[in-house]
Amino acid sequence: MSIPHLTADSFRAAAAAPGLTLIEFSAPWCPPCKALLPILEELSQEERDAAIYQVNVDDHPELASEFGVMGMPTVFLFRSGEPLEKLVGLRPKPAYAAVIRKHAAERTVS
């Protein structure tokens, strides 16, 4: 399975969607980004609490600039358009899963 790529136009709708949205800012030439891709693909199958997308910073530098992306990969978790978490650099799979579960649990408690 492939992670859907967002454009400048589709980014706003994806980030503002109800529930959790995880968006990775990456580039095709970035080795850590390539290593993260299979992790995100697994999470997209396992974690039903978040939609997962990618943004190619080479194609959409305006989005990278708007969100202060200085290193890659940078992963944001959004809820209804609001950024909740920012993870910079490659992390192990449990780190991403924990962020999703933490915020999914917060939503069910509120």
User: Could you tell me the end-to-end alpha-carbon distance of the chain, in angstroms, rounded to an integer?
Assistant: 33
- Please give the backbone phi and psi of residue 6, each rounded to the nearest 5 degrees, phi first: -100, 150
Q: Is 18 a catalytic residue?
A: no
Note if 20 is an active site residue. Answer: no
CA separation for the pair 99, 10 (Å, rounded): 23
* Given the residues 3, 20, 23, 33, the one annotated as active site: 33
> Which residue is catalytic, options 27, 30, 87, 88?
30
DSSP tag of 60: -
Provide the annotated active-site residues: 30, 33
